[in-house]
Structure 1
Amino acid sequence: SDLILQLICVILPSHLGDHLLFLRKTIATMMHLYI
């Protein structure tokens, strides 16, 4: 799952720069759910 998260962190920001903050919050939430 770590590789998937890394891909998400790299791919999503490059395509959705305006939504980077929202994506960061979403990813952080997902990480908390996995941990």
Structure 2
Amino acid sequence: MYSLAWVDLKDGRLIFEVPPGVLGFIDNHWLQLV
């Protein structure tokens, strides 16, 4: 499953909290984990 989102960062940073051991939650255009 793939999803795409636009994020407005004008007001500051966006922080994701992910539990330890979770892989593949966020990756870049080349499918590398971020």
TM > 0.5: no
Larger Rg: 2
Q: Which has the higher contact order (CA 8 A, sep 6+)?
A: 1
**Normalized against structure 2, the TM-score is what?**
0.20
**Normalized against structure 1, the TM-score is what?**
0.20
